[in-house]
Structure 1
Amino acid sequence: MRILAIAAALAVALPVPSQVMAHEFWIEPLAYQVDSSDLIIGELTNGQEFAGSQFAYLPQRFERFTVAAGMRQGDVLNRLGARPALSIAPLSEGLNVISYQSTLSTMTYSEWAKFLKFSAHKDFADIEAIHDARGLPRTGFVEGYWRFAKTLVGAGNSIGSDFRSGLAIEFVALDNPYTDDLSNGLRVQLYYLDDLRGDAQVELFEKAPDGTVDITLHRTDANGIATLPVKAGFSYLVDAVVLREPSNELAAEAEIVWETLWAALTFGVPE
């Protein structure tokens, strides 16, 4: 505990630079359902198409890492540098909701085409006109990005409901994937700050038991709800992104001209 406290105190609250494209980031448990007496173990993963590299437990990389179940909530603690980064006892029997908020990272665009491709992929309309209207250069500009990830893990009876955990952008599952009838799909509701995010693109990554991944695009309705088709025995990553102009203070401090906020939700569907 003392080592963790020292590491957190020494962590520098500056953006982490990156020279590669920012891809999806998610929490991927080794098992989405566990016995009440077992550990919840999972990886912090960054990559594409529901596969990627795993990150160690490093408090300087996150602003919060918590678990909640029922009326209880606590911090996710681990050894400094531990992998898997997530290794905790269930907070209680039922649905355990684990949330993660990263610190700010940055990346520099050296090619205009890459920014346009990313913007089109994430459904940012009229970005070229908006970028040019702000008088921004087409190369050498910097984006800052934040990761807001959640995962749902059922312990024991897996009973419970997902809820808003206070992330700036966040999916809330309106159905429990471990106890509810999902024959008509699983509903998720997307929030951005204090508002529901309607007519937003939602990317669904479906991983089969053999590891193959299928990707489909969906949209939220006026109430921010998207109904996602799911299958028994498969696991899922749900992703949505907001692109915005940073505040003057953040733009000056981090030297960024764009800011993206990434929401991710992972869960499994039992056989």
Structure 2
Amino acid sequence: MRRHPNRLTRLTWALALLASPLSAHEFWIEPEVFALEEGAPVMAQTLVGSELKGATYSYNPQNFTRFEIVTDAGVQPVEGRLGDKPALNMVPEGRGLATIVHVTRDYSLTYREWEKFAAFCEHKDFTWAIGRHLERGLGQERVYERYSRHAKSLVALGDGAGADREVGLLTEIVAEANPYTDDLSGGFPVRVLYEGAPRADAQVELFERDAAGEVTIRLYRTDDQGRAMVEVKPGHFYLVDAVVMRELEVAEDTDPAWESLWASLTFEVPE
């Protein structure tokens, strides 16, 4: 059974997120049920948080540029009313493996402490950006960044048969196995893309949550084809995360010097 934080926990996380840079946290889609009968509504939260604990976000078209469900019947926009929670609540057409897609608008972030920017770069494997920032002659008092999230989630409609697909995100993670129908005893293969091309030697972070709510985090690296094989277990929920960091040209002192692009993929492995 999926466990959801109570109101106090949600309030605590919301306050924590407001007090800290959001770019230090993951964004993910979490369906309430991952395997549904045909004709049942798909209901899913969008969350921002750390270690698979986070604040839920309501449906707000001003905050996303894409919100869709992709099935064998095609691409279906997610529609709702402003403020709806969960953000996704609709009955999609089609059957088999469905991919939920959500892309946020661009957000801005200011690091007022150099150490926090450096720690973020180290955590997400961008240590090169620390030296590059200084080489560019940019100050350490303020670091300006732009960021966006590119999230996917896999759910099974009916028999769940089928495969994930590339959906044309600026950066995305593609599942190369079906978590609801395939034998995953040898691992779960994913492919990380940026501008449609494989990301070689990229860090992949795997967040795993068991039925008791215990969270484990493991790091992997992609091969020269952008692929990584991650370990999964039955009855566990997973978030796969990979981040691109790229330089931006600076015309004014307050222009963002960096842009981070966050790709995520969520799914559950049945018992």
Aligned residue for 2:81?
79
Letter in 2 for 1:174: E
> What secondary structure does 2:127 align onto?
coil
Check whether the contact 1:108–1:143 (CA below 8 A) recurs between aligned residues.
yes
Aligned: 1:240 with 2:242? yes
Q: How far has the Cα of 1:93 moved from its partner?
A: 1.3
Aligned residue for 1:261?
261
Instruction: Give the whole-Å Cα distance in 2 for the aligned partners of 1:232 and 1:108.
Output: 40
Letter in 2 for 1:34: L
Runs of 4+ with deviation above 3 angstroms: none
Aligned residue for 2:222?
220
Q: How far has the Cα of 1:84 moved from its partner?
A: 0.4
Instruction: Give the whole-Å Cα distance in 2 for the aligned partners of 1:19 and 1:105.
Output: 16
Instruction: Give the whole-Å Cα distance in 2 for the aligned partners of 1:247 and 1:44.
Output: 31
Q: How far has the Cα of 1:106 moved from its partner?
A: 1.1
Q: TM-score, normalised to structure 1's length?
A: 0.90
Check whether the contact 1:68–1:91 (CA below 8 A) recurs between aligned residues.
no
Find the partner of 1:127 among 126, 129, 132. 129
Check whether the contact 1:90–1:96 (CA below 8 A) recurs between aligned residues.
no
Distance change in 2, residues 1:100/1:247 (3 Å): farther
Check whether the contact 1:67–1:75 (CA below 8 A) recurs between aligned residues.
yes
Q: How far has the Cα of 1:141 moved from its partner?
A: 2.2
Instruction: Give the whole-Å Cα distance in 2 for the aligned partners of 1:139 and 1:43.
Output: 36
Larger mean Cα displacement after TM superposition, 218-227 or 86-95: 86-95
Q: How far has the Cα of 1:78 moved from its partner?
A: 0.9
Instruction: Give the whole-Å Cα distance in 1 for the aligned partners of 2:68 and 2:30.
Output: 15
> What secondary structure does 1:126 align onto?
helix
Letter in 2 for 1:268: E
Letter in 1 for 2:265: L
Aligned residue for 1:111?
113
Check whether the contact 2:66–2:101 (CA below 8 A) recurs between aligned residues.
yes
Deviations 1:2-34 (A, max 9, x none): xxxxxxxxxxxxxxxx76222100000011111
Check whether the contact 1:105–1:144 (CA below 8 A) recurs between aligned residues.
yes
Instruction: Give the whole-Å Cα distance in 1 for the aligned partners of 2:222 and 2:176.
Output: 13
- Percent identity over paired residues: 44
Aligned residue for 1:6?
none
Check whether the contact 1:188–1:227 (CA below 8 A) recurs between aligned residues.
yes
Instruction: Give the whole-Å Cα distance in 1 for the aligned partners of 2:260 and 2:144.
Output: 11
Aligned: 1:28 with 2:30? yes
Check whether the contact 2:73–2:94 (CA below 8 A) recurs between aligned residues.
no
Q: TM-score, normalised to structure 2's length?
A: 0.90
> What secondary structure does 2:165 align onto?
coil
Larger mean Cα displacement after TM superposition, 239-248 or 192-201: 239-248
Find the partner of 1:182 among 181, 184, 190. 184
Deviations 1:88-108 (A, max 9, x none): 113211111111111011111
Larger mean Cα displacement after TM superposition, 55-64 or 82-91: 82-91
Aligned residue for 2:54?
52
Check whether the contact 2:150–2:172 (CA below 8 A) recurs between aligned residues.
yes
Distance change in 2, residues 1:84/1:119 (3 Å): same
Instruction: Give the whole-Å Cα distance in 2 for the aligned partners of 1:92 and 1:30.
Output: 19
Q: How far has the Cα of 1:176 moved from its partner?
A: 0.3
Q: How far has the Cα of 1:247 moved from its partner?
A: 4.9
Aligned residue for 1:170?
172
Q: How far has the Cα of 1:194 moved from its partner?
A: 2.7
Aligned length: 252
Instruction: Give the whole-Å Cα distance in 2 for the aligned partners of 1:229 and 1:138.
Output: 39
